[in-house]
Structures are given as structure tokens and as C-alpha cells.
């Protein structure tokens, strides 16, 4: 899928020595930086160095990516990568990337971590991961230990840089997949879905306010996709439903969370001024692509492209050859999207106000 980069421009004065010899020095970019937070949908390699089973640092992950295997949980680029391309920026390197050049910090970093979520307990059964609050703490460390030094402790210039940078977030999926939806011995004491969703949104609001206090002003938060359509969900015996391709009971839970999320982001934009907390409406887009694949150039919206364990409900089996026509598949493994679907989401978010309002290309001009 061809990605079009619009000729928008952004001018910000950095200390000249920072970009000496860097391709960013000669380029006019749309925004100074892209900072990425989230889970495995956005992780670009942070989990590679963490003691966790949630890793994607082996083939066939990255089979179609020009840099090869990096730790991305898909066959090539993620939504975050495509957004970086639209903004005229390099792909944000993972925070834990060894020997990061200074210019990489200035154009944005990626703090996302597979299997983690909003709640600190989410995902721990797989090992260590970076929950959202931990990711924010690492961004704070970046600001205090790297950015302040790079801006020669000129607070005004640093504040301007952060206020015009784009912050994108995709978090919360695992709080359902690896937490709430799991069967527990005390199932009867579990919170009702509405109470759980509101508690999750309230905790997220507190975390987003911290990000605002650290300088973020342009924040794009993606809502949760149709989790009830994931192969990891639909192929479980207790979730089977002959009348639907998806488990609609779960999708209804997710839509309730998304509605509360949208209201919360509107409230933050009103109370934390100046700021723009934008909701990326990807649930309906993803669901429509699953139900009407041919509209999106897809053929298979039910099966993982790569070979998986447990009847198609896991990650990719290492080094097994994936399906040939990867661009026509919706799911890469039992949890994650193919590059084709990531491309569609990013492109629509950049140009379509029904998906992201304001579109990212106008958000950078605000």
C-alpha cells in the first residue's frame, strides 16, 4: 500500500550541534518528534531485553521489514511506524535500544512493551514488562537526563519542542486479554464489566495527566479494537459462537470502555489547557474490515497468517514459514495485525476525521 506524505512543514530551532551530520538536519519535518507508548501493537523491541516470554525477536516476525527482525509483533511495520513516515520522521527507536544516537532521542523514542497494560498487574504471568506508568517514568527519565542536556537546560525551547511533538498511545488491550477476560478461581467476585471499565479509564486519566505535566500537549490515544474477533478469543472452546465470526459479548465490553475513554479524553482537553487529547476511532474500522474484507483489499480475516500453537491461539512458532499472501490477511498471529491493516489504520487516522479528529496532519498545525 502506497503511503503519501503531505508537504506540511514545521520549524523549530534546535541547538545546531545536535543535528550535525544527521539527515534530520537538512529535512523540514512535520513535527519535531514522535513519542510512542503502548503494548505489543506498538512495541518495536523493548521486550527484547526484558525477562519475558512475550517476545517477537525471531522469524517469521519482521519477515517483510527492511530492518529484519527487530521485536515488532507483526510481519513488518506497525501503526506507529506508518505514522512516523507520515510525519516525515524516522521510526522511533525503542527506549532500551543499545547505543542510541543523540538525534534518535530528539526525533522521539518508543516505550511500548508487549503484554503490559494500564494496570500494574497486567501481563506479569509472562514475565517483566513495562506498564503504562513505567513507560511514563522512562519518558520522564528521557526528559531529565537526555533532553534537558541536549537543549542546554533552556527550558523554554524544551517546552516548545515537547508542546509541538506528537505522543501516540495504544494501551488497555492486555488489561482485558491478559487480565479481566481470564478465568480465575474467584470468578464470582470479579467486578462487573462497567465497573472495571470505569476504573481502568480513571487510572488512565491520572496517568495521562502526569504525561501532560511532563510537557505533552498533542496526544493521540487509540481506542481498543474488536478484541472479541481475535483468533486467540474466537478459537477457545468456551467462546465459540456458530452465529458470529466474533464473540460479540466481549466486543460490547470493549465498546463500553471506548465510550468512557472518549468522554475522559474530552474532559482532559477541556481541563488541561492548552492540550489536545484525541481519540483514534479504530474499533469500528477494524470491525468493518473483518466483516467486509474486500472493501479493504483483504481476503482472510479469521485466521493467523503465521503458524501458531494451540489451534491458532498463540504467537508465531519460531522459524515456521508464514502464509504467502500476507497482504491479504488481517491477523498476523492470534493477537496482532498484519502490516496491511496497520497501514490502513495509520492512513485513515492521518486523513479521515471519522477515525481521528482532528486528523494528525491538522493536529500538528494547532
How far, CA to CA in Å, does 115 sit from each of 33, 77, 178?
Answer: 25, 19, 7
Query: In whole angstroms, how far apart are CA 214 and each of 17, 27, 139, 159, 167?
Result: 25, 27, 9, 9, 12
Determine the 3-state secondary structure of 167 from DSSP: strand
> Can you state the angle between helices 132-142 and 193-213, rounded to 10 degrees?
0
Annotated catalytic residue, options 44, 86, 336, 343: 336
Of 40, 44, 275, 343, catalytic: 40
Give the ranges where the chain is alpha helix by DSSP (H).
Answer: 23-26, 79-86, 102-106, 132-142, 148-150, 155-164, 173-175, 193-213, 231-234, 248-271, 283-291, 339-351, 360-363
Determine if the peptide bond prior to 60 is cis (ω within 30°): yes
At residue 66, the 3 state secondary structure works out as coil
Whether 347 is catalytic is no
Beta-bridge partner residues of 280: 222, 356
Instruction: Name the active-site residue from 39, 81, 175, 333.
Output: 333
Q: C-alpha grid cell for residue 163?
A: 508542546
Angle at 219 between CA 218 and CA 224, to 5 degrees: 160
Let me know: does 170 contact 112? Beta carbons within 8 Å.
yes
Confirm whether 39 is a catalytic residue: no
Residue 86 annotated to the active site: no
- Cite the active site residues: 40, 333, 336
Amino acid at each position: 500500500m502506497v503511503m503519501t506524505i503531505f508537504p506540511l512543514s514545521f520549524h523549530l530551532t534546535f541547538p545546531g550541534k545536535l543535528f550535525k551530520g544527521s539527515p534530520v538536519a537538512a529535512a523540514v519535518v512535520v513535527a519535531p518528534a514522535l513519542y510512542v507508548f503502548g503494548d505489543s501493537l506498538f512495541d518495536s523491541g523493548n521486550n527484547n531485553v526484558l525477562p519475558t516470554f512475550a517476545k517477537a525477536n525471531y522469524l517469521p516476525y519482521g519477515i517483510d521489514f527492511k530492518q529484519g527482525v527487530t521485536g515488532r509483533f507483526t510481519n513488518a511495520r506497525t501503526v506507529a511506524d506508518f505514522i512516523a513516515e507520515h510525519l516525515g520522521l524516522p521510526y522511533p527507536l525503542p527506549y532500551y535500544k543499545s547505543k542510541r544516537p543523540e538525534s534518535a532521542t530528539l526525533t522521539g523514542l518508543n516505550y511500548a512493551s508487549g503484554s503490559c497494560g494500564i494496570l500494574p498487574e497486567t501481563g506479569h504471568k509472562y514475565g517483566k514488562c513495562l506498564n503504562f506508568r513505567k513507560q511514563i517514568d522512562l519518558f520522564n527519565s528521557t526528559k531529565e537526563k537526555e533532553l534537558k542536556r541536549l537543549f542546554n537546560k533552556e527550558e523554554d525551547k524544551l517546552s516548545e519542542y515537547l508542546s509541538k511533538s506528537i505522543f501516540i498511545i495504544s494501551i488497555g488491550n492486555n488489561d482485558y486479554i491478559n487480565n479481566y477476560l481470564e478465568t480465575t478461581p474467584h470468578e464470582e467476585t470479579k467486578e462487573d464489566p462497567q465497573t472495571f471499565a470505569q476504573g481502568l479509564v480513571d487510572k488512565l486519566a491520572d496517568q495521562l495527566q502526569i504525561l501532560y505535566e511532563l510537557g505533552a500537549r498533542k496526544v493521540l490515544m487509540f481506542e481498543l479494537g474488536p478484541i472479541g474477533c481475535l483468533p486467540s478469543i474466537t478459537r477457545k472452546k468456551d467462546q465459540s459462537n456458530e452465529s458470529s465470526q466474533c464473540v460479540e459479548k466481549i466486543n460490547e465490553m470493549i465498546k463500553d470502555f471506548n465510550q468512557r475513554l472518549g468522554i475522559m479524553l474530552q474532559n482532559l482537553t477541556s481541563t488541561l489547557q492548552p492540550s489536545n487529547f484525541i481519540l483514534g476511532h479504530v474499533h469500528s474500522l477494524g470491525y468493518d474490515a473483518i466483516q467486509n474484507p474486500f472493501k479493504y483489499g483483504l481476503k482472510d480475516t479469521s485466521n493467523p497468517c503465521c503458524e501458531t500453537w494451540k489451534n491458532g491461539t498463540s504467537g508465531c512458532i519460531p522459524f515456521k514459514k508464514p502464509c504467502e499472501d500476507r497482504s491479504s490477511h488481517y491477523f498476523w498471529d492470534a493477537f496482532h495485525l498484519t502490516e496491511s491493516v496497520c497501514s490502513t489504520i495509520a492512513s485513515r487516522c492521518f486523513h479521515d476525521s471519522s477515525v481521528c479528529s482532528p486528523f494528525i496532519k491538522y493536529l500538528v498545525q494547532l
